[in-house]
Amino acid sequence: MDTVTQVAIADVKRRHRESGLRSIWYLLPAGVIVALVIGYPVLRAVMLSFFRFSPLGGSVTFVGMHNYVQVLTSRQFGAAALHSVIWTFGVVAFQFVFGLIGAVLLNQKFRGRGIVRGLVLIPWATPSVLAAMMWMWILDANYGVLNDLLTRLGLAFLARPWFSQPHTALPALMLIDVWQGIPFFAVMLLAAMQTIPDDLVEASKLDGATAWKTFWSVKFPIILPTCLITTLLRIVWTASYMDLILIITQGGPGYASLTIPADAYYTAYSDLNFGGATAMAVIQAIVLLGVVMVYLKLLSKQGILDK
Partner 1 sequence: MFHFWKSFRRQTRVVISSLTVLMMILVTACGTSNSGSNTTATNQVQTVNYWYWLDDPSHNTIQDLIDQFNMTHPNIHVVGRLIPFNNYQQTLINAVSSGNAPDAARFKDWWVGQFAQNHLLTPLDSYTKQWQYTSDILPQYWDTGRTSSSSPIYMLPNEYITFYLYYRKDLFAKAHLTPPKTFDEFLSDAQKLTDPAKHQYGFAMRGGAGGQDQWYAFMLAGGARMVDSNGNIVVNNQKAVQVNQWYIDLFRKYHVAPPSSVTDSYAQLLADFENGTVAMMAHHIGSYALLQQKLGDNLGVVPMPQADPSNPATMGSMSGNVIMDSSQHKTAAWTFISWLSSPTAIDVLDRSTNAQLPVLQSVANEPFFQSNTGWKVAIEEEKYAHVWPPLPGVGAVSGHVWEQTMDQALLGQISSQQMLDQIAATLKSGQ
Partner 2 sequence: MIIVGHVLRRSVLWILLFCWLAFALGPYLWMFLTSVKPASELSTIPVHYLPQHWTFAAYAELFHTTPFLKYMTHSIIVAVVTALATLVLAVPAGFSLSRHRFRPKKIVLSALVASQFLPSILLVLALFPIMQSLGLLNRMIGLVLVYTGFVTPFTIWLVKGFVDGIPKEMDEAALVDGCSELKVIWYVLLPVLTPGLVAAAAYIIIFSWNEFLFALTFASKDSVATLPVGLNTFIGDYVTRWDLLTAGGVVSAIPILIFFTLVQRRLISGLTSGAVKS
Q: Which does 76 bind (CB under 5 to 8 A by kind): partner 1, partner 2, none?
A: partner 1
- Over the window 203 to 222, marking each residue x when it contacts partner 2 by CB under 8 A and - when it does not, the resulting string is -------------------x
Query: In the window 29-48, what residues touch partner 2 (CB under 8 A)?
Result: 29-31, 33-34, 36-42, 44-45
Residue selected from 115, 154, 206, 208 as contacting partner 2 according to rule CB under 8 A: 115
Residue selected from 45, 46, 52, 54 as contacting partner 1 according to rule CB under 8 A: 54
Size of the site for partner 2 (CB under 8 A): 116
Q: Which range of residues in 63-71, 140-148, 188-196, 197-205 is near partner 1 by CB under 8 A?
A: 140-148
Query: In the window 249-278, what residues touch partner 1 (CB under 8 A)?
Result: 249-256, 258, 266, 269-272
Residue placing its CB nearer to partner 1 in the complex, 108 or 270: 270
Q: Which does 160 bind (CB under 5 to 8 A by kind): partner 1, partner 2, none?
A: partner 1
Residue placing its CB nearer to partner 1 in the complex, 136 or 260: 136
Altogether, the residues listed in the chain come to a count of: 307
- Over the window 132 to 171, marking each residue x when it contacts partner 2 by CB under 8 A and - when it does not, the resulting string is -xxx-xx-x-xxxx--x--xx-------------------
Binding of residue 92 to partner 2 (CB under 8 A): no
